[in-house]
Amino acid sequence: MIDAIYRQTNRTNLIKSLGGGIVVLTAHTLMQRVNDAVYDFQQEANFLYLTGIEEPDWWLILDGARNKSWLVSPEIDDVHRIFEGGMTSAKAVELSGVTHVITRDEAEALLRELAAHHSLVYAIGDDPYASHYNFFQNPAQKDMWRRLSRTFGEVRDCRKSLVGLRAIKQDWEIDAMKRAIRLTNDAFRTVRQKLPELRYEHEIEAEFDYAFRRAGRATHAYDPIIAAGLNACTLHYTKNTARLKKTDLILLDVGARVDGYAADITRTYNLRPTKRQQQVHDAVVDASRRIIALLGPDRLVVDYFAQVDEIMKDALESLGLLDDRTDQEAYRNFFPHSVSHGLGIDVHDSLGGPRYFQPGMVLTVEPGIYIPEESIGVRIEDDILITANGYLNLSADLSTDI
Ligand SMILES: [Mn+2]
């Protein structure tokens, strides 16, 4: 359980970074799966960051000028209350530290009153990921934006400020991530031990499911990738149904989500690897070590990515896969994804496009080499915290051995 005092600090920091003002945010709403069934609910990350509430349709109103805050409880009809329950106001207060809980009607009146003194209101705008991937976005934020633009003179997006705050993890966030990583690492160790008796990709997946569910508060932070042999060359392979062959390398990319924070870890296993499989695996492990060692505060992000390219090209050369280091297309064929992304509430948590790495940032380091012609796909992924003096590999206690 994460203390409400931290949520309070997050709200204060947001108001500070905006230089005061009015902020109105909404939780995600439920999405229909089929007829009367809904998809698993996941809270909008910024709303979770500011309130700790993991229930749909709540609102948060902040008045930076008067230093006041309100939660708005959703209108839940009796049918939904009986079937799905719902969060009590007392629980919402306990989680968020916001002491005033008002109804939707009271909120409408409050917003009109605030609009009489402030023409500008901050809200969350369109999710750039949704348009980039052509996903249907949870409609709650758009609905709120429309509602606010009817009442206020101008609605402005405060997503950038929140990205900036969330990119620098506080100690309690790092602690939550450590809990997620510990649980994930433990499950990896169990799986590796049981590997001789596991016959299908989904049997491996089930071991992770069991470990995470058994821990109570944990879920998967993302769809796990359990990919044997050639399947490992499909980067987002999540079918996880193939039979395991003794000769297959097995790539496992799995992360638990604990107390709202994600782990994201990859290992590649085979109990009796061929010489070639071992060679490729060694090359990726070696690259991973060299890349992690590049990290530290005040290092230029562009330099990091440039040096990663050199390290990965060294690896590919050593394996006889790359003759010409300037052949960008050949290089990208064997290593077609980014080496790092931010990690936090979201498994791809934005670092806000910084020029330099800064203490408190958490990112993955995940070099991989994929050779479909040889049915080999190897990736090693660790979760790294940038510290004041260098870095800390949060997932280091999980062996990278094959
Ligand atoms: Mn990752």
* Per-domain residue ranges of the chain: 4-167, 171-393
Residue pair 15/273 in contact (Cβ under 8 Å)? The answer is no
Distance (Å, rounded) from C-alpha 18 to C-alpha 9? 14
Residue pair 163/350 in contact (Cβ under 8 Å)? The answer is yes
Q: Considering just the CA atoms, what is the radius of gyration of the chain in Å?
A: 23
Q: Measuring CA to CA, which residue among 379, 55, 23, 57 is closest to residue 235? A: 379
Q: 71 CA distance to ligand 1 centroid (A)? A: 34
Q: 381 CA distance to ligand 1 centroid (A)? A: 7
Q: 242 CA distance to ligand 1 centroid (A)? A: 22
Q: What does the pLDDT profile of the chain (402 residues) look like in tens digits?
A: 678 999 999 999 999 999 999 999 999 999 999 998 889 899 999 999 999 999 999 999 999 989 999 999 998 777 776 766 788 899 999 999 999 999 999 999 999 999 999 999 999 988 888 888 888 899 999 999 999 999 999 999 999 999 999 999 999 999 999 999 999 999 999 999 999 999 999 999 999 999 999 998 789 999 999 999 999 998 888 889 999 999 999 999 999 999 999 999 999 999 899 999 999 999 999 999 999 999 999 899 999 999 999 999 999 999 999 999 999 999 999 999 999 999 999 999 989 999 999 999 999 999 999 999 999 999 999 999 999 999 999 999 999 999
Read off the pTM: 0.94
Q: 390 CA distance to ligand 1 centroid (A)? A: 21
Q: 261 CA distance to ligand 1 centroid (A)? A: 14
179-to-48, 62, 146, 218, 394 alpha-carbon distances in Å: 18, 31, 39, 10, 10
Q: 340 CA distance to ligand 1 centroid (A)? A: 7
Q: 364 CA distance to ligand 1 centroid (A)? A: 6
The pLDDT value recorded for residue 79 is 72
Q: Measuring CA to CA, which residue among 23, 346, 306 is closest to residue 167? A: 346
Q: 362 CA distance to ligand 1 centroid (A)? A: 12
The pLDDT value recorded for residue 16 is 96
Three-state SS across 258-301? Answer: ECCEECCEEEEECCCCCHHHHHHHHHHHHHHHHHHCCCCCCCEH
Q: 328 CA distance to ligand 1 centroid (A)? A: 23
Best CATH choice for the domain 4-167 from the list 3.30.360.10, 3.20.20.80, 3.40.50.300, 3.40.350.10: 3.40.350.10
The pLDDT value recorded for residue 1 is 64
> Could you say which DSSP state residue 85 is in?
-
C-beta contacts of 98-103 below 8 A and 24+ residues apart: 98/11, 98/51, 98/60, 98/69, 98/70, 98/71, 100/68, 100/69, 100/70, 100/71, 101/70, 101/71, 101/72, 101/73, 102/70, 102/71, 102/72, 102/73, 103/72, 103/73, 103/75
Q: 222 CA distance to ligand 1 centroid (A)? A: 10
Q: Measuring CA to CA, which residue among 382, 3, 17 is closest to residue 166? A: 17
The pLDDT value recorded for residue 360 is 97
In CATH, what class is 171-393?
alpha beta
Q: 263 CA distance to ligand 1 centroid (A)? A: 9
* Token pair listed for 88: 């009590």
Q: 172 CA distance to ligand 1 centroid (A)? A: 22
The pLDDT value recorded for residue 134 is 86
Sole residue written with tokens 């980039």:
132
Q: 265 CA distance to ligand 1 centroid (A)? A: 7
Tell me the H-state helices in 41-88.
45-51, 78-84
Distance (Å, rounded) from C-alpha 70 to C-alpha 380? 45
Distance (Å, rounded) from C-alpha 185 to C-alpha 395? 7
